[in-house]
Structure 1
C-alpha cells in the first residue's frame, strides 16, 4: 500500500505556549496556527520556548493546525 504524504512546510515563530505541548505559531505570511511538537523533538527532549524560530508541517486539508518538525538556533 502506497500512501502519498504531502505537507506544506513553513517557517514560523512561537508566540505562545498552550497546554499539552501545543504552541501558537505565527507563520511567515502572518497566519497564526496551533502546532504540536513531533515525536523526534519530544523523544530527544528539545526545549521549545516563546520566541523560538521553528519549521512547521501543515496539512493542505486543515491549514489551522500543524506539527513542529525543527527548531532553529
Structure 2
C-alpha cells in the first residue's frame, strides 16, 4: 500500500495535475487526481488540504482525498 501524506495544494496545472506542498519534503510534489475523485467531480483548488499517495521516487503522487 502506498505511503499517504497530508499536503496543501499550491498550484493547479493543466490536465488535472497539481503542485502540492507535502510536510517533510522540501520540494513540491506533482500530483494528479485519483480516478474516483474525477468520477464524482470533486473540485480541488489552491489552498485545499489534501491526502496524497506518494510514488516510489517521492516526486510524484496521487491526490486521493480532500480534507
Coarse TM-score class (shorter-chain normalised): over 0.9
Unaligned runs of 5+ in 1: 1-5
User: What is the Cα deviation at residue 30 of structure 1?
Assistant: 4.1
Residue among 46, 54, 61 paired with 1:58: 54
The number of residue pairs the alignment matches comes to 66
Runs of 4+ in 1 over 4 A off after TM superposition: none
**Which of 29, 32, 39 does residue 33 from structure 1 map onto?**
29
Residue 23 (structure 1) aligns with: 18
C-alpha RMSD of matched pairs (Å): 0.9
TM-score after normalising by structure 1: 0.85
Of Structure 1 and Structure 2, the greater strand share is in: 1
2:8 aligned partner: 13
